[in-house]
Structures are given as structure tokens and as C-alpha cells.
């Protein structure tokens, strides 16, 4: 795979945006691999993802940000992110005791399905340490409790900074992060919640689903914000259940959805396909 | 298709229930077509649906209820419903202005997919009258408003009684039924709600789904109780949506799910496969 | 909804295509509503759908074709289709005896869900005539048999031409069209086949599915070519089945998928979102 | 969980079967946990799965087989399997180089989701040895080629016998088993094929799917018979794809379905819920 650049752009909708961007690329001999745009007519807002080959592009990688700002971005009042696919994203994983999402991530990582670095796994329990070890990944325990939460989170933040982590994945991490911690990584923490939000927010959603007698259960991956289970949704999926499924069986069926939905969100993040806007996401193809 | 009898049974779980029921049928030369049982271990409660051929059965149809009560049902403290498939269920449809569920029902009815009588369509608007007329079904308008609600509902109840209606289908009927009306037909009114309950109860669920940025929308058919959108769920289904779908598009996609889920519930009702228990349903295969 | 123009374009992939097209629109004050492009790296081929507002566009509608050809299309060796959304597409429906797809189409048509003209329904049977009549649509019977096939198809072709039909929908039409007829309307005849192709081509697919013991059945909408059930696939969907489903039940479950999949294909056709290429389709969002 | 006995029964349909079985259990103080029966009206054949508690049952576990044969089974010409849930099934896994299904199985095994013994992993390659080692499972390489196939398979059969293996799982094992090997383990070898059979039998199904331009891909788990990809289907699932998905992407998406479908089949096998009959399966709930 050739190295490419990816721009994720949004701005108020106006005439000539697409032409301005494609001209910028064309005038500098950029070969467009993929372009997807979207206008939300209710908001009058424009969204775009464009990817082009770095080889042969007339502007060197380290100057693209600057040139794009001057020649296009600032004129249209754009917000944008610039990514390069020859730099591996760095992802930290937070786990507690459940191993299903963790293994699913590790298998994709170790088989080369994903192009990612995992510099550390962080946990509030020792339980999954041996698994991390088998895969040769650093495992750090931060034994968080009510009393030491601020202090432990500060240490976690320091480690994450030091390791140049791009984003954090909560792979069934059973601790609620403080507002301060959430606020330190806006749209950079991906959680998997074990219900199809907004139904069954908070604790024990499968038990609530059982009590309510639903015929479908689901899982939701979303960016974490200080409002519990209220952040921008990235992916959701569901499965059919029946009266035969007690809470234990719902938990079992749910795990398979959780694995799938969390991995789907991580993959979109790794491919720079998610553009958060307000409390929603644009997920490009 | 041969005429059959169907028993829907539930009672506290205890030893020997299945044997007692199958003996009752076998001793009277009943040929079992289908038997499905379920025990909810959390509730310690037993549920069963059994269907057998009437031809050759040693007890005449009009005495089965009595014999079953004496020989089996009362001993085990059972609750049960007895149905005969050679009697067509009678279903009243309530509509307002939306035609998609209505047409879907009428097509299944008129093509013979369903074995059902539709003695009347009731509406609070004139709009869909011509459609009912095309299909040769009586259409009655009850122009309900705040002031006349009690009086109009009383007339509706009278008509439903007079027509020997077994159950009512709210095919996107846009009036909230009074507690009194709901209470008059317990587990005999099927509604289609245009969200995956318990998410987005009440009005304008597609707009709420758009605001929340969900990646899945759904529909739910349920028995109507005085608690709005809180009755026992019969069937649910969903479809994937994306940032490209504005509320208008969600409404359009949702209609297809509503048709499907409502028809699924009606079919289960017609085949005597739904056993409501508390605020849930057992839906046999 | 404002009137828009839609261009469906494909050509060998090369640098500068997107910029050339967006410049053409921008230079003439075209406001792009939606743009989607795709490159098939295996084929080295470029595909695009772009839609822009006609109001304010600097080139009058009747000259767009000519200008685009001269200024962009011919330079890049493009093939393209140009559509205007203020012209209603004209669709002929072919039916036999099954009514489920037919009703589904008619409901969407009569409720205004689709922006389409249906100048005629053509059948080889009288059976569904009364339904067409109820909806006020012309119904013509062509009693095709082996002996008169060529002659009857010639009459059908004449009628279709005379009525300015844009495309034909085979809504469970149970006659195989001749190669000549198929060849007269390339990528303009949409069929619904009652299996997930390429499994179970030809007659009685639900019976074959039952014999094979599959756990999933499906339906496929595709453009008709002289090779039976081998044309470009537009849409597919499936449903789970089990050992409990005999062929009669598979047929019943299948009807719901057929309705859904055929309507999905028709909608994509009406919105000018399908770009056939070789034996495949690009279906834009 | 209490120890239970499971009977899987089939025989020509006749009156009194259910009563005879439930009487047998009831007369010996058996507490039925779950009973599911099915009659195929086309074949006139009866199928049943019944599970009851061993504690308190009047016949000791080692005599149930004999008593059931004498008192019920032989009278009705039944075929049956008897299983006890307090005996862990023993499963051998065959792998080649792909790790996705293998990891999925190992995660379920090591987290206790499944009640199973895995006495050995067999492979024709060294590649996945280190993974088996991490999980503490014996890994044996049989370097099969055209010349040594009969001899190597003989050694495999010997090992499987020696280890008391109940059934074999081919977790993307890329060797075709000989007719002799298949015949030695009828309905005891579960394969995962990477297409929705009967479409795309044989090699490289994702490439064939790409060539055909399907909008859905799938996976199928089935019992292995000497006829390649023609054995009784246990489970199938699918996912939607589009023109954007090249063969590489189809392979990636397909892996997720393969994992899911294979694990679904294994679970049904472990819970004694699959009853093969002819070239089909009854999969009880």
C-alpha cells in the first residue's frame, strides 16, 4: 500500500468548496484515491474526507498543513485534521476482567489485520495481565478506588502522554472516568457500551433488557464525554433474542456484538474515517 | 390444512406437567402436530403451546375446555387459552392518515396469506376511507377530539363488541387511547411504535433518533396498556442508518420496518403463538 | 425539493478527473448537493455520481449535455448519463399472478413515496387487472405462449416505446423474456429473483433451498440480460430460516424479502444512483 | 448448573411418541428442563430433543440407555443419542495458517464460555504452534502432501482415537480430507466454508463473489462429507458488501462472519442441539 494523506474537513456549507479542494490537490499533482463529501441540509454544514497519494505530490508532507491552511482552509473557515497513513496510530487499551473484546483486538493486531501500535494496556485489575504478556504488550495496573482516583488518573495521563498515545480504547473497562480525564482526551476515547443506546444507559443493561422483555439487544461504541453513555455514537449493532434468553444468555450473546461493534469503531478510527461534529459522528466509508 | 386445537398454557413450574398434558391428548387419540414448552428458571414458571388435530380426537370440540380443566388444568393451577384453527379470528384495524401499514395488511388479507376476517376499519380521519372501500371493507369514522373522547370511544367499544372482534390492530393510529379503552381489551390491542423501545418513547421518535445520532433505527409491536409505549413487546426489528439520513429519510426507512414488524406480530396473534405474562410475551415458533 | 441535475460518469482512471468535473460545475455557479466517487483499483476504472442545483447554474438544462461533452467528457474518454430530477421517470410494471410486489409498489406510488409515472401495467394473465384498476392504472394483457411469443413481445415493445417508458420492472413476472426483448432494453429491465444469487438460479428456488437445508434464504434484484439470472445485481437481502420452515413457509417468508429488495432497486433507479459496468453495478448512496 | 441428560431422538412420525417419552421420564421422577419436538410433514418424520435433571431421576445414568431402548425407543423404531452434561465434550481443532477462527475459539475456551476439553490442535503447518503453546494446548504437525496423505491421515486418526476426541473442528484448515477420513467421522467433523453455500463452493469464494458482483457475502458451517462443501448445513450468516469492497476487503469482512458462524455451530454441538438427518440438520434452540 502506498503512503497517502487524509484530510477530514468540515465548515459551513458554501459554493466552491469541493472545487477549491480538488484544485489544490490537482494543481500539485495529487492523485485522489478517494473522496467523499456530505452536506447536512438541516445544519447547512459541509463535511468531507479526501485521500491522495503522497508520492508525486508537489508539496512535502511537513508543509501540507501550512499550505492547505493558507490556500484553502482559512478562506472557507474550515476545521480540519490531516493524517498520513505511513505513520502507525498508537492506541492504548483499558481493560478490567472481561477478556472477549481484549482478545478480539489482540488477534486483529497480532495477525496484521490492523496497522497499529499498542504501546500499553492499562487496567484496574491484575486479571488480564498474563494475556497481555503472551502478546508481548506492556501491562500496567492502576488500582483505582474512590480515594485515590484523582491521583491514579493523573499517573495514567502522564503515561499516555509519555507514550505518545493517539487514542484510548475502553475494552469493557469497568471504571467510570472522571470528567477531568474525559475532558483531557476529547473524541480520543472510544468506549463500548453493552446496549443499543440510548436504551439502557448505565449499569447492568442486559438485566434491564431482560426485565423489559425486549426482542433485540445491542451494543454501541461511542466517544466518551463527561456525560455517561451520552457521547457521539460511532457504531451500533444488534441481535435478536427471545423469551428463552435469560440474563446470562443475553450477556453471552451480547459479547459477540460488543466485540464486533468495538472493532468496527477502532478500524474506522485507524483509517481516519470518523469526523465528530457536535454530539454526532460522520463515519465515512 | 386440517382443523386443529391450540392450547396456550402457563403455571408455576412443577414436575409432571408435560406428561399430564401429553397423556391427556394421547389417551383421547389426539395427534400432536406441534409442542413447545419453556421454563423461566428465574420466575420458576412454566409455559407451553401445544397443537393437535381435531379429527379423531376423542373429546368433541365444545367439551375440550371443560375436560381439560377438570382432568389437567385445575390440578396444576394452570391458566390457559383454547383456540380452534377452523374459526377465523376477527380483527379490527384502527388507522389515521398513514397508509403503509394499512396496505401491507390489506395485501396479505386479500391475497389469502392470512386467515382472518376484517369486519371493520376505524379511523379518526376520512383520509383512508377510499382504500378500505377498494378492498370492500367497512370504514367507520369516529372524529375523536378532546371534548368528545369518552363518548366516541364508548361508541367504538360498542361497535367492536357487536362485531365480535377478537383483537384490534393500531396501524399507525395517531390517537392515544384512554386508560378505560385500553383496560377494556387487555392483551387484545396490538400497536406499532416507530422506535426500538424502550428508546424514544412517545412522539416523533425519528426526530429524536436523528438528534441523538444513532446508527440504527427500529420499530416495536406491543400490546397496548394504559402506560404509553410500555406494554408487553411482541416483535422488534431495526435497520442501519448513517449520517446521510435526515429525519425525512429516517421516516421513509422506518416505514419499511414498521410494516414488517406489525405484520409479524399480527401473524403470531392469528396463529395463537403469543402468550403474554406480566409485562412480557412468550412468542412460540 | 429543488430541481437538480445528476451526472453518472465512468472512465479509465487518470489524474485530474475530479478537479475537471468540479471546476466545470464551479465555474458555472453550480451548487454541488452531493458528490460520490469510486475507483476500482483492480480495473483501474473511475466512477462518479454528482448532483447539483439547476437554479442559478450558468448553462441551460438543454445545453449541459453538449457543454459537458466538449469541456470535460470527451477529453477524459468518459461515458456518462445526464438526468434531471424535475422530470418524472416513467416505469412499466410486468406482473403475472402474484400480488405482493405489485401492491408494495402501488402503495409507494400512490402514497407519494416515489416520484414516478406508471403509464401501464403489462401482464400475461387477467388476474391482477382489478388491482391495477383500483389504482387507476392502465392494465394490458398480452397472452403470451410459445407460438405467439415473438409477435406478442413485438406488440409490447411498441407499446413501451409509444408510452416513453424509461425502464421496466418485472414484479414476479413468470415469463422468460426472449433474448431479443432483453437486448432491446439493456440495463433498463429490473427483475426480482427469489433467491440470493448465484445460489438457486432458475425455477423453484425455495424448493431447492428446502432440499439443500440452507439456514438462510434471500432475494436478488438485477438487470435482465439474455443469460437467465446472470445480469448485474442491484440489491440483495436475506432472512434466517430453520428446519421448521417447509417450502410453503419459505415462500411466505421470501415474499417479504422480495418486496423489500425490489423496492430498494426501484428506488435506486428512480434516484439515478445505479451505474452498471460490465456485469456489475455501482450503487451510489 | 445441575447435571442433566439429553436425548436426541428421531423416528417415523406416529401417534403417542411424545406421551411415551414424557411418561418414561415422569414415571421415573425426571424433571424436564426443556423439550422441543418437530415433525417434518413432507417426510412424515419426528424429531425431538428433551433434557432432564439427573438428580432424583429413578434410573441410574449408566442404565438409562438400556431402559430407554427397551421401554420406549425400540417400540417406536427410534434412533437416538444420549448425552450427559457432566461429561465435557472433547474437541480437536485442525488449523493451517489463518488465526482468526482459532483465536475466537481459544478465547471462548479459556474464558470459560464453553464447557469443553481441547486435547489437541492438529495442523499441516508450524505457523500457529506458538499460539497453541500460549494457551497450553498440545500442537501436532502432520505435514501432509499428495504423496504421504494416506499415511499421515492414518496417524491423525490414531491420535484422535487415542485422545477420545468426540468431534473435530476445521478452523480454516486448508487441506481437503480424504473420503476415507471423512467417512471415519460421520457428522463429527465441523467445517467453516467462507461462502453462503451452495453459492461459491470450492476454492477462492471471495474472489468469485467479487467477480459476480454480489451485494452480500456469507459463511457456512457444516458437517463434512466426502462431497466437498455438500454436507449438512448447521449455521449460516451473511453481511452486506458494496462495489467499494475489493477481494481483500471481502476477505477481511468475511473473517468476522466465519468466526461467528463457526462458533455458533460449535456451541450447538457442545450443547447437543444438532440432530443430523439425511443431508440436513435439525438445530434445536
Q: What's the CA dihedral at A213, A214, A218, A224 to 10 degrees?
A: -70
Residues ≥6 apart with Cβ < 8 Å to B222: B190, B191, B193, B197, B229, B231, B232, B233, B234
In tens, the pLDDT along D82-129 reads 999 999 999 999 999 999 999 999 999 999 999 999 999 999 999 999
| Nearest Cα residue to A284 out of A274, A276, D249 | A274
Residue A239, classified by CB atoms within 10 Å of its CB into exposed (0-12), middle (13-18) or buried (19+), is: middle
Give, for D91, the enclosing helix (H) or strand (E). Answer: strand D90-95
Q: How far is CA D198 from CA B192, C211, D220, in A?
A: 37, 11, 9
Complete domains list, chain A, with CATH: 4-84 (3.30.70.260), 89-185 (3.40.50.170), 187-285 (3.40.50.170)
**What's the pLDDT at D260?**
96
Helix (H, G, I), strand (E, B) or coil at B245: coil
Per-residue pLDDT band at C41 (split at 50, 70, 90): confident
Q: Which of D229, D237, D245, D256 is catalytic?
A: D229
Mean pLDDT within A190-198: 97
Per-residue pLDDT band at A41 (split at 50, 70, 90): confident
Nearest residue on chain A to D256, judged by CA atoms?
A260
**What's the pLDDT at D41?**
87
CB B73 within 8 A of CB C73: no
Nine cell digits for residue D89: 465434550
CB D91 within 8 A of CB D120: no
* Residue in the structure block whose three cell numbers are 471481502: D250
* Minimum distance, in Å, between the CA of residue A54 and any CA atom of chain B: 29
CB D68 within 8 A of CB D74: no
Q: How far apart are CA A234 and CA A253, in angstroms?
A: 21
**What's the pLDDT at B221?**
98
Per-residue pLDDT band at D203 (split at 50, 70, 90): very high
Mean pLDDT within B9-13: 97
Q: How far apart are CA A232 and CA A222, in angstroms?
A: 5
In tens, the pLDDT along A111-125 reads 999 999 999 999 999
Q: For an interface test with B, which of A40, A208, A216, A227 has the most B Cβ atoms less than 10 Å from its Cβ?
A: A216
- List the catalytic residues of C: 229
* Residue in the structure block whose three cell numbers are 390440578: B75
Mean pLDDT within A258-272: 98
The pLDDT mean for chain A works out to 96
CB D57 within 8 A of CB D68: no
Instruction: Evaluate if pTM is beyond 0.90.
Output: yes
CB B283 within 8 A of CB A242: yes
* Cβ pair B15:D26 closer than 8 A: yes
* Cβ pair A242:B214 closer than 8 A: no
Question: Which of D100, D260, D263 is the closest to A107 by Cβ?
Answer: D100
**What's the pLDDT at B41?**
87
Q: How far apart are CA A197 and CA B71, in angstroms?
A: 49
pLDDT over 90 percentage in chain C: 97
Q: How far apart are CA B99 and CA C101, in angstroms?
A: 16
Chain D contact residues (CB < 8 Å to B) = 15-16, 18-19, 22-23, 25-27, 29, 31-39
Nine cell digits for residue A198: 440510548
Per-residue pLDDT band at B16 (split at 50, 70, 90): very high
Chain C contact residues (CB < 8 Å to D) = 38, 40-42, 47, 196-200, 212-216, 218, 232-238, 242-244, 246-247, 279-283
* Cβ pair A279:B246 closer than 8 A: no
* Cβ pair B32:D25 closer than 8 A: no
Cβ of A44: how many Cβ atoms within 10 Å? 10
pLDDT beyond 90 at A205: yes
Residues C157-192, buried b or exposed e (16+ Cβ, 10 A)? eebbeeeebbbbbbbbbebebeeebbebbebbbbbb
Q: How far apart are CA B198 and CA B229, in angstroms?
A: 8
Which positions in chain C touch B263 (Cβ < 8 Å)?
A: 256
**What's the pLDDT at C164?**
98
Q: DSSP state, C19?
A: H
The CA-based angle D147-D148-D149, given to 5 degrees, is: 100
Q: How far apart are CA B135 and CA B109, in angstroms?
A: 10
Beta strands in A54-205 (DSSP E): 79-84, 90-95, 117-123, 139-141, 167-170, 189-193
**What's the pLDDT at A133?**
94
What sign does the CA torsion over A245, A250, A256, A260 have? Answer: positive
Nearest residue on chain D to B26, judged by CA atoms?
D16
Nearest residue on chain A to D253, judged by CA atoms?
A264
* Residue in the structure block whose three cell numbers are 389469502: B112
In tens, the pLDDT along A48-64 reads 999 999 999 999 999 99
Nearest residue on chain C to A32, judged by CA atoms?
C15
Q: For an interface test with C, which of D10, D216, D220 has the most C Cβ atoms less than 10 Å from its Cβ?
A: D216
Mean pLDDT within D133-141: 96
Q: How many CB pairs under 8 A join B and C?
A: 39
* Minimum distance, in Å, between the CA of residue B178 and any CA atom of chain D: 40
* Minimum distance, in Å, between the CA of residue D208 and any CA atom of chain B: 27
The pLDDT mean for chain C works out to 96
Residues B23-50, buried b or exposed e (16+ Cβ, 10 A)? bbbbeeebbbbbbbbbbbeeeebbbbbb
| Nearest Cα residue to B108 out of B267, B265, B222 | B267
Chain C contact residues (CB < 8 Å to B) = 99-100, 103-104, 106-107, 110-111, 113, 134, 242, 244, 252, 255-256, 260, 263, 285
pLDDT beyond 80 at C1: no
Q: How many CB pairs under 8 A join B and D?
A: 47
* Cβ pair A246:B282 closer than 8 A: no
pLDDT beyond 80 at D51: yes
**What's the pLDDT at C67?**
98
CB A209 within 8 A of CB A217: yes
Question: Which of B103, B252, B263 is the closest to C103 by Cβ?
Answer: B103
| Nearest Cα residue to B15 out of C213, D231, A246, D27 | D27
Chains meeting B at 3+ CB pairs closer than 8 A?
A, C, D
Q: How far apart are CA B248 and CA D157, in angstroms?
A: 62
Nine cell digits for residue D148: 504421504
* Cβ pair B243:A40 closer than 8 A: yes
Q: How far apart are CA C144 and CA C215, in angstroms?
A: 37
- Give catalytic status of residue D229 as yes or no: yes
CB D25 within 8 A of CB D56: no
Q: At what angle do helices B205-212 and B247-270 cross, to 10 degrees?
A: 130
Q: How far apart are CA B217 and CA B206, in angstroms?
A: 8
pLDDT beyond 80 at D1: no
Instruction: Give Cα B62 distance to the centre of its chain.
Output: 25
Nearest residue on chain D to B53, judged by CA atoms?
D15
Q: Which segments of chain B does DSSP mark as H helices, in order?
A: 17-27, 61-68, 100-110, 129-134, 149-162, 179-184, 205-212, 247-270
Q: What ipTM score was computed for the predicted complex, to two decimals?
A: 0.95
**What's the pLDDT at D2?**
86
Q: How far apart are CA B256 and CA C113, in angstroms?
A: 12
Which positions in chain B touch D34 (Cβ < 8 Å)?
A: 37-39
* Cβ pair C22:A22 closer than 8 A: yes
Q: DSSP state, D120?
A: E
Q: DSSP state, A20?
A: H
Nine cell digits for residue C279: 456485469
**What's the pLDDT at D250?**
97
* Stronger pLDDT, B172 or A2, i.e. the higher one: B172
Chain D contact residues (CB < 8 Å to C) = 38, 40-42, 47, 196-200, 212-216, 218, 232-238, 242-244, 246-247, 279-283
CB A113 within 8 A of CB D252: yes
Per-residue pLDDT band at D69 (split at 50, 70, 90): very high
Q: How far is CA B244 from CA A221, B213, B278, D216, in A?
A: 19, 11, 40, 22
Instruction: Give chain B's length.
Output: 285
* Cβ pair C32:A18 closer than 8 A: yes
Which positions in chain C touch B244 (Cβ < 8 Å)?
A: 285
CB D86 within 8 A of CB D54: yes
CB A53 within 8 A of CB A2: yes
Strand D45-53 to D4-12 pairing: antiparallel
Q: How far apart are CA C233 and CA A51, in angstroms?
A: 29
Mean pLDDT within D50-59: 96
Per-residue pLDDT band at B2 (split at 50, 70, 90): confident
| Nearest Cα residue to A118 out of A191, A169, A184 | A169
In tens, the pLDDT along B174-230 reads 999 999 999 999 999 999 999 999 999 999 999 999 999 999 999 999 999 999 899
Residue D51, classified by CB atoms within 10 Å of its CB into exposed (0-12), middle (13-18) or buried (19+), is: buried
Nine cell digits for residue A234: 460511532
* Cβ pair B22:D25 closer than 8 A: no
- List the catalytic residues of B: 229
In tens, the pLDDT along C199-256 reads 999 999 999 999 999 999 999 999 999 998 999 999 999 999 999 999 999 999 999 9
The CA-based angle D270-D274-D278, given to 5 degrees, is: 145
**What's the pLDDT at A2?**
87
CB C205 within 8 A of CB C195: yes
In tens, the pLDDT along A148-184 reads 999 999 999 999 999 999 999 999 999 999 999 999 9
Amino acid at each position: 500500500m502506498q503512503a497517502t494523506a487524509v484530510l477530514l474537513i468540515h465548515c459551513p456549507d458554501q459554493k466552491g468548496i469541493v472545487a477549491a479542494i480538488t484544485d489544490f490537490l490537482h494543481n500539485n499533482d495529487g492523485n485522489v484515491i478517494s473522496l467523499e463529501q456530505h452536506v447536512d441540509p438541516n445544519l447547512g454544514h459541509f463535511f468531507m474526507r479526501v485521500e491522495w497519494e503522497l508520492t508525486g505530490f508537489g508539496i512535502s508532507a511537513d508543509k501540507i498543513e501550512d499550505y492547505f491552511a493558507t490556500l484553502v482552509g482559512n478562506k472557507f473557515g474550515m476545521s480540519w485534521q490531516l493524517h498520513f497513513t505511513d505513520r502507525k496510530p498508537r492506541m492504548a487499551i483499558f481493560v478490567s476482567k472481561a477478556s472477549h473484546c481484549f482478545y478480539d483486538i489482540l488477534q486483529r493486531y497480532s495477525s496484521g489485520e490492523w496497522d497499529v501500535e499498542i504501546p500499553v494496556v492499562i487496567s484496574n485489575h491484575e486479571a488480564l495481565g498474563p494475556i497481555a504478556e503472551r502478546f508481548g504488550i506492556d501491562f500496567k495496573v492502576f488500582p483505582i478506588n474512590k480515594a485515590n482516583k484523582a491521583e491514579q488518573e493523573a499517573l495514567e495521563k502522564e503515561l499516555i502522554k509519555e507514550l505518545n498515545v493517539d487514542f484510548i480504547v475502553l475494552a469493557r473497562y469497568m471504571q467510570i472516568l472522571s470528567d477531568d480525564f474525559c475532558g483531557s482526551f476529547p473524541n480520543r476515547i472510544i468506549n463500548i457500551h453493552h446496549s443499543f443506546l440510548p436504551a439502557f444507559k448505565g449499569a447492568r443493561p442486559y438485566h434491564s433488557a431482560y426485565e423489559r422483555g425486549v426482542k433485540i439487544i445491542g451494543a454501541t461504541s461511542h466517544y466518551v464525554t463527561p456525560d455517561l453513555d451520552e457521547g457521539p455514537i460511532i457504531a451500533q449493532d444488534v441481535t435478536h433474542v427471545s423469551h428463552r434468553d435469560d440474563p446470562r444468555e443475553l450477556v453471552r450473546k451480547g459479547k459477540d456484538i460488543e466485540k464486533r461493534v468495538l472493532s468496527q469503531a477502532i478500524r474506522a478510527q485507524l483509517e481516519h474515517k470518523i469526523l465528530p461534529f457536535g454530539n454526532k459522528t460522520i463515519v465515512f466509508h
